[in-house]
Amino acid sequence: MSRARYRLVVDPIACDGAGVCAELLPEMISLDPWGFPVVHGDEVPPSLLDLARRTTVSCPRLALTLVHLDKS
Amino acid sequence: MSAPTGPARLLDTTGGRDVISLDAHLERWGPLPAVGSAALLDAVELSGLRGHGGAWFPVGTKWRAVARSKRSKPVVIANGAEGEPASGKDRYLLHHSPHLVLDGASVAARALGADRVVVHVTAGAVAGIDAALAERARRRTDTCSFEVVVAPDRFLAGQEAAAVATVNGGRAGIPTFVGIRTVREHGVAGRPTLVQNVETLSHAALIARFGPQWFRTVGTEESAGTALATVTGRWDAPRIVEVPLGTTLGHALGIDAEAARGIQGVLLGGYGGGWIPTATALSMPFTEEAARSHGSSIGAGVVVLLPTGVCPLAEAARVVRYMEGEGAGQCGPCVNGLDLLATSMEHLAYRPRSLRGGVAALPTLCGLVEGRGACRHPDGVARFVRTAVDVFGDHAALHLSRGPCQTSRPFLSVPAGPVAQVR
């Protein structure tokens, strides 16, 4: 499980720009001028995977998901 | 019945009839041969046919992906929504050659093992398709069932997920976020779904009859066959032209050096496409690869020759504002970004000195919307803006140094009102 590779995907329709993700995971997520998230990097580094997982469940709109890289 | 030998394939009309009846259609092309699924999938794949709705995705690959999805029987959507204001080729085909389109849908259904075909067209095309379907029912030409669903008059109506939403009775013409679960696996009624443009299906109908080798006698290795183009700016009114892929537009449209001097720039791919300098656009091979290498796309075959004497920046500004209004209004970066892009283009066109950051700010703004929508709408607008700034850079410099053009008659067709399209 931990060896699987993941990327972060924002559902731009669900996202309302609360900005929680950029607070929790500034290593990978910044906000655009309107407060909507910009994801940096294609793959979540293994060292950030736990934090990324906690970030996805902290999104008030559940608009952020971890997706298997080989499935996309 | 014989295979067309020249470049006129879809426009090989029988005797100049307005609407080609089923009898005339069968007299010209003969019935569809009784070929099974595997042979049809092979033929379409070998032909090299690509999607003419705008994405130019290999059709064989797409059909196999849907056919592989074994969860339930697939559904085929014959997509003739054609929301692009500068395009008319799909309506032309649906009106004049409905049976070529319906043959293609029938071929796709047989190849995929689908029993249900949805013909997705604008309100104006419904009567013609209903009449054609009645002719086919009397002759029992098809084993699949057909239904007609009306596409709303919106730019995005033909977008794949938006078409599925319309057919499913969701928000008509509004894309959904598909993520990694595409409509190919989960579309109409949750079933695997093929959404294919009506021109693409018409090519498939001829491939089923005359084979992939015949199809490849016109075109290039990567872009086989012909493409319908809606050409604006060459004649008094827009015309539909069948262009052999790989030939130059200059040749196909009969534009010599003298005539080229009256053209300021060429828009390929429509309002989500891109501008190309006139000399390049007229001399490059007419293929998706060549268009992409110049930052544009053939898209659904829209070709606009912009004449000298109109302000290209005013034209671009009107188009970008229209595209902003045609957004689905669902994704934050697109809602905010397209409005800012439209406002910036209006500044450049009418109040150039109030454009903050000057022309150089525009590509940066484009970067803020690219790849950040649920659909590709913002990416298309960004491409339109980036290439407009490139191709009309000298004109933009004139605006900044001397002020905007005093008057400009509108040239590009932009429907009035937020969703109503006057054609």
Report the residue from A9, A15, A67 with minimal CB separation from B332. A15
Which positions 4-23 of A are in contact with B (Cβ < 8 Å)? 9, 11-17
Q: Are residues B240 and B278 in contact, defined by beta-carbon separation less than 8 angstroms?
A: no
B234 in the same domain as B140: no
Helix (H, G, I), strand (E, B) or coil at B237: coil
CATH number of domain containing B127: 3.40.50.11540
Q: Please report the pLDDT score of residue B319 as a whole number.
A: 97
Q: How many domains does chain B have?
A: 3
Residue A37 backbone dihedrals phi, psi, to 5 degrees: -75, 140
pLDDT per residue, tens digit, chain B (423 aa), is 788 888 899 998 766 778 999 999 999 999 999 999 999 999 999 999 999 999 999 999 999 999 998 789 999 999 999 999 999 999 999 999 999 999 999 999 999 999 999 999 999 999 999 999 999 999 999 999 999 999 999 999 999 999 999 999 999 999 999 877 789 889 999 999 999 999 999 999 999 999 999 999 999 999 999 999 999 999 999 999 999 999 999 999 999 999 999 999 999 999 999 999 999 999 999 999 999 999 999 999 999 999 999 999 999 999 999 999 999 999 999 999 999 999 999 999 999 999 989 899 999 999 999 999 999 999 999 999 999 999 999 999 999 999 999 877 889 988 765 433 333
B94 in the same domain as B163: yes
Cα separation, B420 vs B423, whole angstroms: 10
CATH number of domain containing A30: 3.30.70.20
Report the residue from B177, B180, B336 with minimal CB separation from A13. B177
Angle at B268 between CA B373 and CA B224, to 5 degrees: 100
Nearest-10 crossing angle of helices B37-47, B59-68: 150
The residue among A35, A26, A72, A56 whose CA lies nearest residue B368 is: A35
B140 in the same domain as B235: no
Taking phi first (over 0 means left), then psi (-120 to 50 degrees means alpha), and beta for anything else, what does residue B378 get?
Answer: alpha
Neighbours of B368 (CB within 10 A): 20
Question: Does residue A43 lie within any of the structural domains?
Answer: yes
Q: Are residues B56 and B298 in contact, defined by beta-carbon separation less than 8 angstroms?
A: yes
Question: Does residue A45 lie within any of the structural domains?
Answer: yes
Question: Does residue A56 lie within any of the structural domains?
Answer: yes
Report the residue from B180, B331, B336 with minimal CB separation from A71. B180
Question: Does residue A1 lie within any of the structural domains?
Answer: no
Q: Which residues contact B64 (CB under 8 A, 6 or more apart)?
A: B41, B45
Question: Does residue A14 lie within any of the structural domains?
Answer: yes
Q: Are residues B291 and B254 in contact, defined by beta-carbon separation less than 8 angstroms?
A: no
Range of the domain at A44: 6-71
What letter represents residue B68's amino acid? R
Cα separation, B391 vs B362, whole angstroms: 14
B190 in the same domain as B93: yes
Question: Does residue B13 lie within any of the structural domains?
Answer: no
What is the pTM assigned to this prediction? 0.95
B153 in the same domain as B73: yes
- Contact residues, chain B, for A9 at CB < 8 Å: 179-180
Angle at B117 between CA B113 and CA B123, to 5 degrees: 165
Which positions 349-368 of B are in contact with A (Cβ < 8 Å)? 368
Cβ–Cβ contact B373 with A under 8 A: yes
* Inter-chain residue contact B180 with A17, CB threshold 8 Å: no
Question: Does residue A16 lie within any of the structural domains?
Answer: yes
CATH number of domain containing B262: 3.10.20.600
Neighbours of B248 (CB within 10 A): 16
Cβ–Cβ contact B304 with A under 8 A: no
B34 in the same domain as B154: yes
Mean pLDDT value of segment A1-19:
89
B199 in the same domain as B125: yes
CATH number of domain containing B367: 1.20.1440.230
Cβ–Cβ contact B374 with A under 8 A: yes
Neighbours of B151 (CB within 10 A): 25
Q: Are residues B309 and B406 in contact, defined by beta-carbon separation less than 8 angstroms?
A: no
B234 in the same domain as B179: no
Angle at B307 between CA B302 and CA B308, to 5 degrees: 150
How far is the alpha carbon of A63 from chain B, nearest alpha carbon, in Å? 11
Q: What token pair was written down for B20?
A: 């080609």
- Among B215, B244, B276, the domain boundary falls at B215
Q: Which residues contact B263 (CB under 8 A, 6 or more apart)?
A: B233, B255, B278, B282, B305, B306, B307, B308
Q: How many domains does chain A have?
A: 1
Range of the domain at B359: 312-402
Q: Please report the pLDDT score of residue B14 as a whole number.
A: 67
Q: What token pair was written down for B248?
A: 């130059």
Cα separation, B190 vs B187, whole angstroms: 5
Positions of E strands within chain A: 6-10, 29-31, 37-39, 64-68
Q: Please report the pLDDT score of residue B416 as a whole number.
A: 67
Q: Please report the pLDDT score of residue B423 as a whole number.
A: 31
| Sign of the four-CA dihedral B140, B144, B150, B154 | negative
Q: Which residues pair with B382 in a beta bridge?
A: none
Cα separation, B363 vs B372, whole angstroms: 15
How many helices and strands (H and E) does chain A possess? Answer: 2, 4
B250 in the same domain as B194: no
Helix (H, G, I), strand (E, B) or coil at B84: coil
B202 in the same domain as B65: yes
Report the residue from A9, A12, A33 with minimal CB separation from B373. A12
ipTM: 0.91
- Among B275, B307, B339, the domain boundary falls at B307
* Inter-chain residue contact A12 with B180, CB threshold 8 Å: no
Q: Please report the pLDDT score of residue B71 as a whole number.
A: 80
